[in-house]
C-alpha cells in the first residue's frame, strides 16, 4: 500500500517548479533581447473567471488572463514579481520555505522594490500562485507556506516524512501518540502514507476529537481521525486530499448540524470555495461524504431537547446556500436537508449526543451511521 | 531523569479528587441528618479576592469565601453543583472526561435541574474549580477538559503517556516527527517526561515554529520547541509548567516585540492573569524568562526599517502595564523596556529578522541571545 516513492515525487515536483520559473524568466529575457516589452500573463482570480465543474465537483479557474507588461507604471510590481519568483526558486534549491509574512520582510532588502504593506506582497503571491496552479503546482510547491498548521491526526496511519538534514526516512505512527496527536505541518507535499484503515473521519470540534482519540475509536473502527477545528486550514485540506487519493480512502465528515457546518465547513472541505478557485484543484476532497449530524439525525436520535433555535445568520446562510450555491443546487438531497432544517427551526451540535451519555456517540451513534455509508449525504 | 512514576502520581491525584468530592457530599449529608441547612463554601473568584504574591511571582486567590446554602432560591443551583460534582466523580472512576460544552449537554437528562444556557454550567464549574484549586487540584483533575488543545511540540523530548485501554506505557519521541509535531492533548496531568534538553523555547508564531522545526534547531541547540500560537492555551501552559518543574528546565520565551507579546503572551505564560487567579498556581511558569524580541534588539540587530508604528491600542496596553500591572511594576527592567518601546514608537515582529535572510534567526540571532541567558528580561 506504499505511495510511489515520496522522494522521487518530491524531486519531480521541484524540477517542475524550477522549470516554470525558468520559463517565465527566459521569456522575459527573450522579449528584452528582441527589443519588445516583456510581459507575464496571470489567470484572473476574480469570481468572473470561476467555473463550477459538475463532473469534477469543484469550482475552478476559467481561462481569462490578465497581462502584466513592463511599463513605467508597472515597473515596481513587475520587479517585485520577478524577485518573489527568484526567492521561490532559491527556496526550492535550498530546501527552505517562507511564510507570507516572511516574504514581506525579506523584501525589506530589495531596495526600491521593497513592499510597504503585506497586502502588496500577498496580492503578488496570489498572482504567482494562480499562474503556478494552471501548471499543476500549488503555492506550497513554490515554498510559500501558510502561517496556520494543519489539524491533529490520530489512528491507524503511518506518515512517511524525512529528515531534512540527512534525507533519511522518518516514519510517524499515528497510533502511537497516546492522548496526544500528530500535528499536520504547514506543507504536506513531501509526505507519504501507509495505512490499513478503511476510512478517514474528519471531525469539526476539538472536544469530539479528544473523546474519539482517548477511547481509541480509530482502533475499534479501523480508521484515521482528523480534527478540523472549524473550517479546515489549507494544510488540513491538502493532507486529507493527498491521503484519500494516495490510499484510496473514503472521507466521512462529522460536524454540527447547522448551516455553518454544512455550507461552510463540509462544503469547503469537499468542493472548495468560489473566491479561491485557483487552489481548489489541490485542496478540495471530492470523495468526502457527510456522515452527520444531519437534520434527520435530530429526529432519529431524539435530540430535539438538546437543540438551539436557528438565529438570523443561520437562516440567511441556509437560504443563500439553497438559492445560490452551485454545489447545493447540484444535489437535491442537500436542498431537501436544508429545507428540513429550516422547517424544524433548530440546530444541533455534535456534542448534543452527550445528552444520552458521554460515550453514546462511540457506542451507538457512530456505529449506527457507519453501518450504512451509502445513506450519507453527498 | 525520569519523573516519579506517572501512574502512581495519577492514582494519587485521583484519590485526592474523590476524597474531596466525598468530603463535600458527606458534610452535606451530616448537616441534613442533624436537621441543619446544608451549605458549601466556595472561594470568591472576583478581583477583590486576588493577591499578587511577589515571592511566588503570581496572582493567587485570597481567603474570602462565599457560602452557598440550600434554600428555596438556591435549590436548583445547589442540586446542579452536586450533580456536576457527581459527574466529575464518575469520570474519575471511569477514566473519562467531558468538555465544558458536553457537561452542559449531559445536564439535559437531569430533569428540573438541567441547564438552560451554557453560561450557567460554566459558572458552576468555575466555582467547583476554585474550590478544588485550594486543595491543589486543577479542573483537569476533576476531568473537565478545555475545548482547545495545546500547542505543537518538537525536539529532544520523550513524552510518556499510556494506552488508556491496556494501561501500557506509550513513549512519544518528539525528535521523530519530521516536519510535523506532537500536539499537546487537552489534559496533561498524566504525562511523564524524559529529556536531555537544556531549555524549553516557547515561540509565539506558527511560522517561526515551523522554521525552527524544519531546520532542526532543537537538535543543534539541544532544546525543546513549543508553539504557543499567540496567548498560550491552558493545555500549553500546564504542559510547559509540568515539563519545566519535572525536568528542572529553564523556559525562554520568543515573541514579537510589542506590548501584546510582552504584557499579554509572556506575562500570561509566566505569572497568569488576575481574573483567573484560582488557576495560576497550576498554569503559570515562574521560571520563564524573556529571550526576545526586546526593544533593545531592534537597535542591536538593526531592525528599524522592518518595524511598524505603535498604534493606539499598543500604546494604551503599554501604559496600562506600566501603571497598573503588579508584575511589570515589580520589575524595573520591564518598566525601562516598555518606556524604551514607547519612546521608539515602533513594534517589531519576530519574523522581522527575515530582513537579514530567512535563517538569520537560526544562524545569528538565537545563538547570540542564547550565549547570555542572564541578560534575558525577567
* Whole-number pLDDT of residue A2: 45
Across the interface, which of A185, A354, A359 has its CB nearest the CB of B180? A185
* Whole-number pLDDT of residue B2: 45
Which 24-63 residues of chain A touch chain B by CB within 8 A?
A: none
Closest-approach residue (CA) in chain B for A189: B179
Q: Render pLDDT for B144-185 as a digit per residue (tens, 0 to 9).
A: 998 888 899 999 999 999 887 788 999 999 999 999 999 999
Query: Residue A253: which of A213, A294, A202, A215 has the closest Cα?
Result: A202
Beta-carbon separation of A207 and B349 below 8 A:
no
Q: Give the residue-averaged pLDDT of A270-276.
A: 80
Q: Is the peptide bond before B227 cis (omega within 30 degrees of 0)?
A: no
Shortest Cα–Cα distance, A263 to chain B (Å)? 23
Q: Give the residue-averaged pLDDT of A205-225.
A: 96
- Residues of chain B neighbouring A233 (CB-CB closer than 8 A): none
Report whether pLDDT(B218) > 50: yes
Q: Render pLDDT for A79-123 as a digit per residue (tens, 0 to 9).
A: 999 999 999 999 999 999 999 999 999 999 899 999 999 999 999
The DSSP annotation for A113-171 comes to: G--SSHHHHHHHHHHHHHHHHTTT--TTTTTEE-SS---EEEESEEEEEE-TTT--EEE
Whether A279 and A135 have beta carbons less than 8 Å apart is answered as: no
- Residues of chain A neighbouring B227 (CB-CB closer than 8 A): 149
Beta-carbon separation of A356 and B109 below 8 A:
yes
* Whole-number pLDDT of residue B163: 85
| B344 pLDDT tier (thresholds 50, 70, 90) | very high
Across the interface, which of A96, A179, A357 has its CB nearest the CB of B185? A179
Q: Render pLDDT for A172-203 as a digit per residue (tens, 0 to 9).
A: 999 999 999 999 999 999 999 999 999 999 99
ipTM associated with this complex: 0.92
* Disruptive mutation site among B96, B100, B102 for chain A (greatest number of A CBs within 10 Å): B102
Across the interface, which of A186, A207, A356 has its CB nearest the CB of B99? A207
In angstroms, the CA B360 to CA B368 distance is 11
Query: Residue B208: which of B23, B93, B10, B351 has the closest Cα?
Result: B351
Q: Render pLDDT for B56-111 as a digit per residue (tens, 0 to 9).
A: 777 788 888 988 888 888 889 999 999 999 999 999 999 999 999 999 999 998 99
Q: Give the residue-averaged pLDDT of B260-273.
A: 92
In angstroms, the CA A293 to CA B147 distance is 19
Cell of B377: 528580561
Q: Give the residue-averaged pLDDT of A360-376.
A: 97
Closest-approach residue (CA) in chain A for B101: A351
* Whole-number pLDDT of residue A4: 55
**H or E, element range at B317:** helix B312-324
Whether B347 and B341 have beta carbons less than 8 Å apart is answered as: yes
Percent of chain A with pLDDT over 70: 98
Beta-carbon separation of A210 and B149 below 8 A:
yes
In angstroms, the CA A3 to CA B90 distance is 45
In angstroms, the CA A357 to CA A241 distance is 33
Q: Which residue has the higher pLDDT, B333 or A163?
A: B333
Q: Which residue has the higher pLDDT, A56 or B178?
A: B178
Across the interface, which of A105, A205, A358 has its CB nearest the CB of B351? A105
Whether A149 and A184 have beta carbons less than 8 Å apart is answered as: yes
Report whether pLDDT(B246) > 80: yes
Shortest Cα–Cα distance, B226 to chain A (Å)? 12
In angstroms, the CA B186 to CA A56 distance is 39
Cell of B8: 502512581
In angstroms, the CA A125 to CA A148 distance is 17
Interface size A-B, in CB pairs within 8 Å, comes to 179
* Whole-number pLDDT of residue B1: 38
A149–chain B Cβ distance below 8 A for any pair: yes
Average model confidence (pLDDT) across chain A: 92
In angstroms, the CA B133 to CA A171 distance is 41
Q: Which residue has the higher pLDDT, A313 or A273?
A: A313
B360–chain A Cβ distance below 8 A for any pair: no
Report whether pLDDT(A250) > 70: yes
Beta-carbon separation of B207 and A359 below 8 A:
no
Residue written as grid cell 504536506: A188
The DSSP annotation for A288-307 comes to: EEEEE--HHHHHHTT-GGG-
A118–chain B Cβ distance below 8 A for any pair: no
Cell of A180: 496526544
In angstroms, the CA B222 to CA B197 distance is 5
| A1 pLDDT tier (thresholds 50, 70, 90) | very low
In angstroms, the CA A338 to CA A245 distance is 29
Q: Is B182 a catalytic residue?
A: no
Query: Residue B150: which of B226, B242, B251, B214 has the closest Cα?
Result: B226
Closest-approach residue (CA) in chain A for B303: A108
Whether B267 and B302 have beta carbons less than 8 Å apart is answered as: no
In angstroms, the CA A104 to CA A98 distance is 10
| A57 pLDDT tier (thresholds 50, 70, 90) | confident
Choose, from B52, B58, B104, B105, the residue flagged as catalytic: B105
Across the interface, which of B178, B182, B349 has its CB nearest the CB of A177? B182
Question: Is pTM, for the whole model, over 0.90?
Answer: yes
In angstroms, the CA B102 to CA A86 distance is 51
Report whether pLDDT(B333) > 90: yes
Can you give the C-alpha Rg of chain B in angstroms?
23
B156–chain A Cβ distance below 8 A for any pair: no
For residue B110, the tally of other CB atoms under 10 A from its CB is: 14
Shortest Cα–Cα distance, B178 to chain A (Å)? 6
A175–chain B Cβ distance below 8 A for any pair: no
* Whole-number pLDDT of residue A159: 98
Q: Which residue has the higher pLDDT, B103 or A52?
A: B103
Q: Give the residue-averaged pLDDT of A310-325.
A: 94
Q: Render pLDDT for B178-216 as a digit per residue (tens, 0 to 9).
A: 999 999 999 999 999 999 999 999 999 999 999 999 999
Closest-approach residue (CA) in chain A for B108: A355
Residue written as grid cell 515597473: A75
Q: Enumerate the active-site residues of A.
A: 105
- Residues of chain A neighbouring B98 (CB-CB closer than 8 A): 354, 358
* Whole-number pLDDT of residue B4: 55
| A30 pLDDT tier (thresholds 50, 70, 90) | very high
Cell of B348: 517589531
Report whether pLDDT(A3) > 60: no
In angstroms, the CA A136 to CA A355 distance is 47
B186–chain A Cβ distance below 8 A for any pair: yes
Shortest Cα–Cα distance, A323 to chain B (Å)? 33
In angstroms, the CA B213 to CA B199 distance is 15
Whether B370 and B225 have beta carbons less than 8 Å apart is answered as: no
* Whole-number pLDDT of residue A74: 87
Shortest Cα–Cα distance, B66 to chain A (Å)? 31
Across the interface, which of A91, A162, A180 has its CB nearest the CB of B183? A180
Listed in sequence order, the residues at least 6 apart from A190 whose beta carbon sits closer than 8 Å to its beta carbon are: A6, A10, A161, A162, B179
Q: Render pLDDT for A353-367 as a digit per residue (tens, 0 to 9).
A: 999 999 999 999 999
A90–chain B Cβ distance below 8 A for any pair: no
Cα B69 to Cα A153, A159, B66, B120, B175: the distances in Å are 46, 56, 10, 18, 53
Beta-carbon separation of A355 and B145 below 8 A:
no
Beta-carbon separation of B99 and A179 below 8 A:
no
DSSP tag of B263: I
Q: Is the peptide bond before A126 cis (omega within 30 degrees of 0)?
A: no
Cα A29 to Cα A65, A135, B203, B331: the distances in Å are 21, 21, 43, 60
A158–chain B Cβ distance below 8 A for any pair: no
Report whether pLDDT(A125) > 60: yes
Across the interface, which of A182, A187, A216 has its CB nearest the CB of B165? A216
Do strands B288-292 and B251-254 pair parallel, antiparallel, or not at all (unpaired)?
Answer: parallel
Amino acid at each position: 500500500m506504499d505511495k510511489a516513492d515520496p522522494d522521487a515525487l518530491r524531486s519531480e515536483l521541484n524540477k517542475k517548479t524550477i522549470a516554470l520559473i525558468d520559463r517565465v524568466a527566459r521569456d522575459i529575457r527573450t522579449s528584452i533581447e528582441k527589443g519588445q516589452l516583456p510581459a507575464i500573463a496571470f489567470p484572473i482570480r476574480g469570481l468572473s473567471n470561476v467555473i463550477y465543474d459538475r463532473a469534477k465537483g469543484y469550482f475552478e479557474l476559467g481561462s481569462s488572463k490578465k497581462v502584466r507588461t513592463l511599463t513605467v507604471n508597472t515597473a515596481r510590481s513587475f520587479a517585485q514579481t520577478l524577485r518573489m519568483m527568484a526567492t521561490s526558486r532559491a527556496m526550492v534549491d535550498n530546501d527552505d520555505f517562507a511564510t507570507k509574512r516572511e516574504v514581506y520582510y525579506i523584501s525589506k532588502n530589495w531596495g526600491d522594490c521593497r513592499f510597504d504593506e503585506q497586502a502588496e506582497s500577498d496580492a503578488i503571491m496570489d498572482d504567482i500562485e494562480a499562474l503556478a496552479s494552471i501548471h499543476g503546482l500549488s503555492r506550497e510547491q513554490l515554498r510559500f507556506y501558510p502561517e496556520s498548521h494543519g489539524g491533529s491526526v490520530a489512528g491507524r496511519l503511518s506518515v512517511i516524512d524525512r529528515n531534512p538534514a540527512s534525507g533519511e526516512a522518518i516514519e510517524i505512527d499515528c497510533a502511537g501518540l497516546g492522548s496526544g496527536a500528530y500535528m499536520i505541518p504547514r506543507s504536506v507535499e513531501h509526505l507519504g502514507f501507509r495505512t490499513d484503515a478503511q476510512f478517514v473521519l474528519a471531525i469539526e470540534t476539538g472536544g469530539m476529537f479528544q473523546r474519539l482519540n482517548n477511547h481509541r475509536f480509530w482502533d475499534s473502527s479501523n480508521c484515521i481521525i482528523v480534527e478540523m477545528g472549524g473550517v479546515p486550514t489549507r494544510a488540513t485540506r491538502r493532507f486529507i486530499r493527498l491521503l484519500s487519493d494516495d490510499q484510496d480512502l473514503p472521507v466521512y465528515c462529522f460536524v454540527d448540524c447547522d448551516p455553518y457546518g454544512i455550507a461552510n465547513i463540509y462544503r469547503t472541505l469537499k468542493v472548495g470555495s468560489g473566491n479561491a478557485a485557483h487552489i481548489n484543484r489541490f485542496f478540495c476532497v471530492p470523495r468526502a461524504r457527510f456522515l452527520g449530524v444531519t437534520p434527520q439525525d435530530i429526529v432519529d436520535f431524539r435530540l430535539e431537547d438538546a437543540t438551539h433555535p436557528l438565529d438570523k445568520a443561520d437562516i440567511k446562510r441556509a437560504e443563500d446556500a439553497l438559492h445560490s450555491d452551485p454545489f447545493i443546487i447540484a444535489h437535491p438531497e442537500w436542498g431537501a436537508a436544508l429545507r428540513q432544517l429550516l422547517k424544524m427551526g433548530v440546530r444541533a451540535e455534535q456534542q448534543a449526543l452527550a445528552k444520552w451519555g458521554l460515550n453514546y456517540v462511540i457506542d451507538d451513534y457512530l456505529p449506527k451511521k457507519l453501518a450504512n455509508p451509502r445513506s450519507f449525504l453527498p
